[in-house]
Amino acid sequence: MDQGNPLVEETASAVSSLSEEVVRVEGLWKVYGRESKRITSDKYSQMSKDDIRKKTGNIVGLKDVSFSISKGEFFIIMGLSGSGKSTLIRNLIRLIRPTTGRITINGVNITKLSENDLLEFRKKTFGMVFQNYGLLPHLTVLDNAAYGLKVRGLPKGKQYAKAMRFLETVGLSGWEDYYPNELSGGMQQRVGLARALANDPEILLMDEPFSGLDPLIRRQMQDEFIEIQDKLNKTIIFVTHDLSEALKLGDRIAILHDGEIAQIGTPEEIVTVPADSYVQEFVQDASPAKVVTAGSIMVEPEVLLYSWEGPRTALSILKNARRSGAFVVDKKGILLGVTNINRLERIIENPVESQTKRIDASAITKIPSVSEDTILEDLFGIVSANPYPIPVIGENRRLVGVVRTDDIFETISPNRGDQND
């Protein structure tokens, strides 16, 4: 955009006032039909989508939608067919014009941009990956990956160098000279992803990108994409109708219903605290084990031993607390492992070891630990092989809590909500 353009000045001031916010949508409506703006008035705003259609003939695609997305966030938009998912994402990039409302991207109100400014803004801001891949069949994998860079006018050497780097990122090194029809569906989708990433977009839009893949390849692509996102930390807006996919990938999920946002929340919030009966029905088959984290159900250990206390003190603490064992930490709170009465008694009975003033390493057993964001599903294998609560580790391996077996199974029990009835 040209220097002196008031939109550029708006961008500069707005960006400085934002912290990490990249996208803000405020009061967004999309109504199809005659005199569409009248539908956004108070007279119709409380009516349902069906009632508005019957009364006026207008079709509501989006109804008073508002949300924001932070830098580096993996934001999921989901809902059933006709809920407004595709309408919303097309409004976000102004492929269709909103009826009313404001869409701010990086401080720029894109609803005010001219067509020329909008085209330039899209090129610099968005990367897009869709279900049908959109590859050019007469171009090689490398040429497809470099296509966006070619359009931008980069020298051929730089095009290929950058495209190759992202082909390697998505696991397609060695396939650059093949053509799309020689690749599997999953590999073709990787090419589309490499092409989008090569342009270094700030925001990556993905509209049902994995829905055309076989279930096994789809899961592999999800796993690989999680790894890629961990490296690149892009802001991602991802549209899907698959709840399992949303729960696996998303930092937050927006569930649409008849053009309105029924709920926005983390996967754990969506599954465990549904906002209304629609969301509750929508997520009823989702297992809490796939979204509830160790950090959300951990408790403080009832007994904690410190390595400098010595074996006799530790033994006394365990007997007074009527515990057979406990976790041991050092002066920095770093977990060393677990000890028990039998081990401590053997040390005390040994003439040499009994002189030690610390809980010796020979009395401590190392056991598996998890981080606060480990989901419960990943704890099952540890529970079956471990008689102790599972230690939860924070930064620098400091012990921050423990997860008890009973709490795990109580959380995932299908009757967990009946206790307060």
CATH number of residue 371's parent domain: 3.10.580.10
Instruction: Tell whether the model's pLDDT for residue 284 goes beyond 90.
Output: no
Burial class (CB in 10 A: 0-12, 13-18, 19+), 159: buried
Q: Is residue 281 part of a domain?
A: no
Q: What percent of the chain has pLDDT over 70?
A: 91
Task: Work out whether the CA dihedral 377, 381, 387, 391 comes out positive or negative.
Answer: negative
Question: Residue 421: helix, strand or coil by DSSP?
Answer: coil
306 inside domain: yes
Answer whether residue 48 is part of any domain. no
Whole-number pLDDT of residue 110: 93
User: Is residue 310 pLDDT above 50, yes or no?
Assistant: yes
SS3 at position 324:
coil
**Tokens standing for 302?**
């009832």
Tell me the C-alpha to C-alpha distance, in Å, between residue 265 and each of 133, 254, 275, 340. 29, 7, 10, 42
Average pLDDT over residues 193-219: 85
Distance from C-alpha of 94 to C-alpha of 113, rounded to nearest angstrom:
9
Q: Is residue 107 part of a domain?
A: no
Is residue 363 in some structural domain?
yes
Task: Indicate whether 17 belongs to any domain.
Answer: no
197 domain residue, yes or no: no
What is the H or E stretch that residue 27 is in? strand 21-32
- As a whole number of angstroms, the distance between CA 101 and CA 66 comes to 9
Distance CA 77, CA 72 (A): 16
Q: Confirm whether 371 is domain-assigned.
A: yes
Q: Please, what's the b/e burial string for 63-84 (b: 16 or more CB within 10 A of its CB; e: otherwise)?
A: bbbebebebebbbbbbbeeebb
**Model confidence band, residue 98 (pLDDT cutoffs 50, 70, 90):** very high
> Is a pLDDT exceeding 90 seen at residue 129?
no
Mean pLDDT of 166-181: 89
* Reported pTM: 0.76
- What pLDDT shows up at residue 351? 67
Which of 17-26, 223-232, 261-270, 307-316 has maximum average pLDDT?
261-270
The structure tokens listed for 68 are 């924001």
Tell me which residue has tokens 């074996």. Answer: 311
Q: What's the mean pLDDT when you consider all of the chain?
A: 85
pLDDT computed for residue 152 by the predictor: 81
Q: Which residue has the higher pLDDT, 79 or 45?
A: 79
Report how many domains make up the chain: 1
Residue span of the structural domain in which 316 resides = 295-412
Kindly indicate the confidence band of residue 170, based on its pLDDT and cuts at 50, 70 and 90.
confident
